[in-house]
């Protein structure tokens, strides 16, 4: 197993490297301190098993690099590790293909749990996204109405859009075209939706969306 830790702060790289080596003692952990080093590593040696990426490094725009990496290496899970906790930044990172977003303020044990989740095929979003901390712009989190059944977790505006298109019967590729995002990103959103709704498949998700009128809460 091979991890790539990309951050321009040496202490952060060292801390993450030590934690990853505890998580997977036999894993190889390589480091990058700039965007060109990240691209050089993955293009020269192939996609890694997990990339931890800081969006604020020298050499370019972090979101552009994230989008490029996720489009060029769609099977490589990328977790953004960032000092920003703005909801708009988190949602943009997920829209660009990130499989997780970890604020640097997070406790290390929670961070490692998030990494394990992504490595097992899940999607990790921080609680700040749902609590509304650091909100930017007009992003809104849509909360389902009360019901006697256990309520789904809150969904982001983008997740609601994907869910509503799922309810219309659109496949992932069709949703990607409709929203102008990649097929890979749609898969990440669908996985996050299923987790938030506590269901196992798209059919159960669409039924729950109808029961809680989730799409009506957006489209009136």
For the chain, domain boundaries: 2-131, 141-219
At 36 the pLDDT is 94
Percent of the chain with pLDDT over 90: 45
Report the pLDDT averaged over residues 30-36: 95
Report the pLDDT averaged over residues 41-60: 91
**pLDDT tens figures, 145-176:** 444 445 788 888 888 999 999 999 998 889 99
| Inter-residue contact 209 to 203 (CB < 8 Å) | no
Topology given in CATH for the domain delimited by 2-131: Rossmann fold (3.40.50)
At 142 the pLDDT is 41
23 or 219: which leads in pLDDT: 23
pTM (2 decimals)?
Answer: 0.71
Range 141-219 has CATH code 3.40.50.300:
no
At 57 the pLDDT is 92
**pLDDT tens figures, 92-146:** 998 899 999 999 999 988 899 999 988 888 888 887 665 543 334 334 444 444 4
At 128 the pLDDT is 66
Return the top range by mean pLDDT from 32-36, 147-151, 156-160, 203-207. 32-36
At 42 the pLDDT is 94
At 139 the pLDDT is 40
On the question of a common fold for 2-131 and 141-219, the answer reads no
């Amino acid at each position: 197993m091979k991890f790539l830790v990309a951050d321009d702060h040496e202490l952060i790289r060292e801390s993450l490297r030590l934690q990853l080596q505890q998580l997977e003692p036999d894993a190889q952990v390589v480091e990058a301190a700039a965007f060109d080093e990240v691209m050089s590593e993955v293009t020269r040696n192939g996609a890694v098993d997990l990339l931890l990426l800081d969006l604020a490094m020298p050499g370019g725009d972090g979101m552009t690099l994230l989008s490029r990496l996720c489009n060029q290496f769609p099977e490589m899970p990328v977790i953004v590790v960032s000092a920003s906790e703005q909801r708009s930044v988190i949602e943009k990172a997920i829209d660009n293909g990130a499989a997780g977003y970890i604020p640097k303020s997070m406790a290390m044990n929670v961070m490692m749990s998030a990494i394990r989740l992504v490595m097992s095929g899940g999607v990790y979003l921080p609680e700040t996204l749902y609590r509304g901390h650091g909100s930017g712009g007009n992003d809104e989190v849509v909360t389902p109405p009360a019901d006697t059944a256990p309520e789904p977790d809150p969904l982001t505006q983008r997740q609601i859009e994907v869910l509503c298109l799922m309810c219309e019967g659109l496949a992932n590729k069709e949703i990607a075209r409709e929203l102008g995002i990649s097929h890979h990103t749609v898969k990440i959103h669908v996985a996050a939706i299923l987790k938030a709704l506590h269901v196992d498949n798209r059919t159960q998700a669409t039924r729950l969306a109808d029961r809680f009128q989730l799409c009506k809460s957006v489209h009136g």
